[in-house]
Amino acid sequence: MTDEYCKLYIDTSFDHDEMESIFALGFKECISIPGVEFSLLENDKHIEDVEITSSTHPVDRARYYAEIDSDPADAIRKDDFNLSISDLVIWLRLRCDFVVAACDFEDYIVEVTGWNWTTEHPLPPAR
């Protein structure tokens, strides 16, 4: 049994209620693993009206963050969790301006989704 965890930084113009609804829908569509839950929170480190440059850190840019974790009592396969989170990142990126995963499988996020914030590649590819 493993306890899996990922934090997603999300920047969007949606208000909290809209973002909560959108995130819940994406979570339901992408994560079908029993025992995995999320919390969507406002990012108190968010800098309003920050100019987005290559040195802007996701924590400064993101209006929200989501913590996604599993109950250690549930048998969660790491590969299933990683793929489900990657699917959720792709789903959210179609609806939000900026979505970055902070987890111990960020290389996998890049492999599956095509991008994740790094110091070498801090800006998402143009849509």
The answer to whether position 73 is within a domain reads yes
- The dihedral sign for the CA sequence 3, 107, 37, 63: positive
Q: Which domain holds residue 9?
A: 5-113
Residue 99's CB is within 10 A of a number of other CB atoms, namely 28
Residue 125 lies in a domain: no
- Identify whether 120 is part of a domain: no
Classify residue 52: in a domain, yes or no. yes
pLDDT tens digits along 75-98: 889 999 999 999 999 999 999 999
Q: Residue 87: which CATH number?
A: 3.30.70
Task: Quote the tokens at residue 45.
Answer: 């480190």
Overall domain count for the chain: 1
Query: Does residue 122 fall inside a structural domain?
Result: no
Give CA angle at 102 (98, 106), nearest 5°.
Answer: 100
Q: What is the value of pTM for the model shown? A: 0.91
Mean pLDDT of 50-72: 79
